[in-house]
Structure 1
Amino acid sequence: MSPFTTIHRSFVEQAERRPDKALFELPDGRGVTYRKTAETVQRIAARLVADGVAPGDRVAAQVHKSPEAIALYLATLQVGGVFLPLNTAYTGNETGYFLGDAQPRVLVCAPERETEHTRRAQEGLVIETLGVSGDGSLLDDDARRTETYEASADDPAAILYTSGTTGRSKGAVLTHGNLAANCRALLDSWRFTADDRLIHALPIFHIHGLFVAANMALTAGASLHYLPKFDADAIVDLLPRATVLMGVPTFYTRLLKHPGLTAETCAGMRLFVSGSAPLLAGDHESFATRTGHAILERYGMTETGMNTTNPYEGGPRKPGTVGKPLPGTEIRVVDAESGEPLPDGEVGSIEVRGPNVFTGYWRLPEKTAAEFRADGFFVTGDLGRIDEDGYLCLVGRGKDLVITGGYNVYPKEIEELLDAHPEVVESAVIGVPHPDFGETVVAVVVPTPGAQPAAEELREFVAGDLARFKHPRAVRVVEALPRNVMGKVQKAELRKRYESLFTPPASPADT
């Protein structure tokens, strides 16, 4: 982007241009204007500075979705802080790891969880609270801060934690330049403007809900139909008054079951976007038949924001593909070992380079260096191929990450908990196809000699330490896990063995 303009500065410009326009339109009929949001941002900014936040300090947020939660994000950027959003479903133990690793100056949590952090407050972490109705300590004061930290494109703006297959979760450091460049590319590619009315039913603690949907609205001067969570009835009711819906495949699977989803209700819509997990080709086709709209699939990840998109215009939106690189972004498919580019049609490792790509993992210089090629391409760990039209097709992940309903699940974390059960020798956690969530979590366990632990007992054993979306949906007890000659568990074999647990196998006529 040239000249460089931060997300916060772009929002301020929109608030000055259209102060009385509704930024948030809430389910109860209330609207929150750009002016009101800008005032809330300034109040929170003043509070953060009073709490000791200086440029570069982390501000962690584990709060429920609200207009004030977006204001907290913008206020953090205003004062030069680094925003650290945390999933509200994380347990105290899970949250503790992120706080220990990122070492934020301030943690903003829901009022009902404040007591969980008493010890941390005594150790110097400033605890603020923020409720869904703007309640909580964060907005206790009326002081406002108008000064803005003049961030450079290289200054860190956010840390989002991502899962791999070894070690603990890693913090991907995204800069102001990363966020701004990716947002601008999406605005241009999807023709997103102040005239748009976006249905926002995504969480705001990850890339899709915050850095795609929210950033685009904030910087374009658009309005958000702001829902606390996915609600098929509410979305169908909003479709005649909206122009864009951004969702995960689960959204579309469930909308297709709603009788109110028709071409008539979607007549004013111009764009349906799906991402965070693969969309079933059957759902793509069924949606087009029902509504007359072809869902636009794109490809992104925590470390890079969005990388590719099916075309808004000028070409087909092809089911099973994620399109071509966004402006300014380069994609290549290479041999994983040599790094040599592969011919179109061959499956290899997907690598990406561009202004959207993060600067590295938080305090992990060696891990960062290992994930980048010498020429600056980031090794995504995903596998794919380029088809005859130049579209990228994802064919799998080189890592064992499970993506269920758009959420990342790190198998090792669940395996360690299962292995601690007295009747379990070892376990392997995999993702298998699921008609609603894209993938779901399945645990395969080897019992101690003579033991036969019940599936429900094992599920309950790990439930207290895991967010609900990480809970195994099925548990299978086996005599031994399949291994190769080197002793490594063959998870690909397990995935094949259990691939039809939740989806029926294809009939000969379908193959």
Structure 2
Amino acid sequence: MTQNLPLAHRLPDTSVPLLDTTVGESLRLTAARFPERRALVWPAGEGIAAMTYAELLAQAERTAAWLLEHAVSGDRVAIWSCNSVEWILVEYGCALAGMTVASWNPAWTDFECAHARDLTAPALLLAGSDTRGVSLQERGTAIMRAHLVHPLDDLLDLVASVEAGALPDVMPADLFLIQFTSGTTGKAKGAAMSHRTALNGAWLRVVAAQADESDVWINPVPLNHMGGAVSLVIGCMTVGACYVVMTRFDPAQFVRLMGQCGATRIGGVPTMIYALLEQPEWAEAARDLRAVGSGGAQVPRPLIERLMQDYGVTVLVAFAQSECPMISATLPGEDPLLAAETVGRPVSHTEVKICDPQTGATLQVDEVGEIRVRGPVVMDGYFRMAEATAATIDADGFLHTGDLASLDAEGYIRIHGRARDVIIRGGENIYPAEVEDCLLTHPAVHAVAVVAVPDERWGQVVGAAVQLCEGASATAEHLEAHTAERIAHFKVPRRWQFVESFPLTASGKIRKVEVEGLF
């Protein structure tokens, strides 16, 4: 007789108090508490520059006043740039002005930007540079009306003469962030986050890490990602910690900054951490290091053991989505090797259950199903996409994550795969449907299947199997150039196979498992 096991359903722990305020008011409170503490640090030549919390608040208030001269409270403001201090000032300026940040990926093509523009109708675009240092200003003026585009790199000059007067009242439930995320249907969706949602998503992240005002965080995750703009920027602010701004990941610069700033916490996907360990100055730079945070890919056990045994560093793994900035995490003091096997337990105020993807029934512990999440940091919905929202958040308020996992009796979550088709390249989520839609716009392409191909450096890269139209010809180089004009570089297929036909299911769908075997 089969014994009935407990259900894989973990109710929320509510022992940690939530923050019932806005992002802007939280910045004011932290600046009042730690006015002279470093808020931001960034490279300046071979040295570093810094901004205190009092200075950050003053600049953010001036930025808010400048924004209100060009738009009104409630408007969307697009930021299109690599990481920068100015990016963060606009984020906080929007928070204080009651405007909504709509961040664009600097790797996007004009096609992708036009979709984001049409979806969110931003009143302003602050354009900076991409990660190669190439200005996005000219492209921005072609995508938006020229008078709505302003140079992000000149922000400090733009706001220098602005008097920071009275700012509007902003409420915790007001919209703060539209975080773009690719979907299985192709074009990006905008996960809408209120001030309360974003602030508490960040707060629960630092609570789980047991961080405080003495911490110095370095993690070059892009600010157009939830992990950058919310978990790191806002997370550091909630406790008065210091955030180190990096334009992009550069191992040598990263390690140099660690030493110059006295970094206590760093983060990145495993490929980044391995690159840091190869730097000759690593051991000296890691002298103050307490923890390494990772996610977006499984953390190999040998990497955890090396960091733990050779450098006395705790490895912490967090699990989140654009639709929910914090779901689970491993904690300091736990068995460090849990970070290699699990993504920890649900964080405070987060209810998790594992369900049969077809029936919705809650499964038993250790059974594999879809992770469904309910709590105060689940997105409000997809911006102006009611049908997509209804398909993702059910009537009971549970977010259907699309991730396959099991929940054990102690509450630890083990990821087993993806219910939704997704390729994870160096921490970037790539949805095959978007790449397939792009390739099908080429006149020579009859059918295509995009799959994940294992890669030693990136974890996975994009592979495309292509069936050409009868009598047509096209090379991998031609198709690569075609996609590179329309989608971000990290989504472009780098492995190609040309086929006469595809293996099909009884319902006529391509058998992608068999396609994967071609690579």
The residue aligned with 1:85 is 103
**Alpha-carbon shift at residue 280 of structure 1 (Å):** 3.5
Name structure 1 gaps, 5 residues minimum: 499-511
**Alpha-carbon shift at residue 441 of structure 1 (Å):** 1.1
Deviations 1:62-93 (A, max 9, x none): 02321121010001011111111111111222
The residue aligned with 1:308 is 328
Indicate conservation of the 8 Å contact 1:443/1:474, yes or no. yes
Amino acid at match of 1:274: S
Indicate conservation of the 8 Å contact 1:317/1:323, yes or no. no
The residue aligned with 2:209 is 190
Partner residue of 1:32 out of 38, 51, 57: 51
The residue aligned with 1:116 is 139
**Alpha-carbon shift at residue 307 of structure 1 (Å):** 0.3
Partner SS state of residue 24, structure 2: helix
Whole-Å Cα distance in 2 between the matches of residues 470 and 49 of structure 1?
36
The residue aligned with 1:276 is 296
The residue aligned with 1:126 is 148
**Alpha-carbon shift at residue 447 of structure 1 (Å):** 2.1
**Equivalent residues, number:** 492
Whole-Å Cα distance in 2 between the matches of residues 342 and 259 of structure 1?
49
Amino acid at match of 1:58: R
1:233 aligns with 2:252: yes
**Alpha-carbon shift at residue 121 of structure 1 (Å):** 5.0
Q: Are the structure 2 counterparts of residues 113 and 415 from structure 1 closer, same or farther at C-alpha, using a change threshold of 3 Å? A: same
Q: Are the structure 2 counterparts of residues 420 and 471 from structure 1 closer, same or farther at C-alpha, using a change threshold of 3 Å? A: same
Partner SS state of residue 224, structure 1: strand
Deviations 1:349-405 (A, max 9, x none): 110011110111111222212222332211111111123543101111111122212
Deviations 1:176-198 (A, max 9, x none): 11112222222222111110011
1:413 aligns with 2:434: yes
Partner SS state of residue 126, structure 2: strand
Partner residue of 1:204 out of 210, 223, 226: 223
Whole-Å Cα distance in 1 between the matches of residues 415 and 117 of structure 2?
34
The residue aligned with 1:503 is none
Partner residue of 1:68 out of 86, 95, 98: 86
The residue aligned with 2:264 is 243
The residue aligned with 1:222 is 241
The residue aligned with 2:450 is 429
**Alpha-carbon shift at residue 462 of structure 1 (Å):** 1.7
Q: Are the structure 2 counterparts of residues 238 and 50 from structure 1 closer, same or farther at C-alpha, using a change threshold of 3 Å? A: closer
1:483 aligns with 2:501: no
**Alpha-carbon shift at residue 43 of structure 1 (Å):** 1.8
Amino acid at match of 1:41: A
Q: Are the structure 2 counterparts of residues 314 and 411 from structure 1 closer, same or farther at C-alpha, using a change threshold of 3 Å? A: closer
Percent sequence identity is 31
Partner SS state of residue 183, structure 2: coil
Indicate conservation of the 8 Å contact 1:249/1:438, yes or no. no
Q: Which stretch of structure 1 is more off in the superposition, 356-365 or 388-397? A: 388-397
Whole-Å Cα distance in 1 between the matches of residues 105 and 264 of structure 2?
28
The residue aligned with 1:98 is 116
Whole-Å Cα distance in 2 between the matches of residues 48 and 487 of structure 1?
53
Partner SS state of residue 71, structure 1: helix
Partner SS state of residue 163, structure 1: strand
1:41 aligns with 2:57: no
Q: Are the structure 2 counterparts of residues 159 and 259 from structure 1 closer, same or farther at C-alpha, using a change threshold of 3 Å? A: same
The residue aligned with 1:177 is 196
**Alpha-carbon shift at residue 451 of structure 1 (Å):** 5.2
Indicate conservation of the 8 Å contact 1:44/1:138, yes or no. no
Partner SS state of residue 332, structure 1: strand
Q: CA RMSD in A?
A: 2.3
**Alpha-carbon shift at residue 328 of structure 1 (Å):** 0.6
Name structure 2 gaps, 5 residues minimum: 1-16, 130-134
Whole-Å Cα distance in 2 between the matches of residues 494 and 144 of structure 1?
61
The residue aligned with 2:183 is 164
Partner SS state of residue 403, structure 1: strand
Q: Which stretch of structure 1 is more off in the superposition, 69-78 or 420-429? A: 420-429
Indicate conservation of the 8 Å contact 1:172/1:358, yes or no. yes
Indicate conservation of the 8 Å contact 2:503/2:511, yes or no. yes
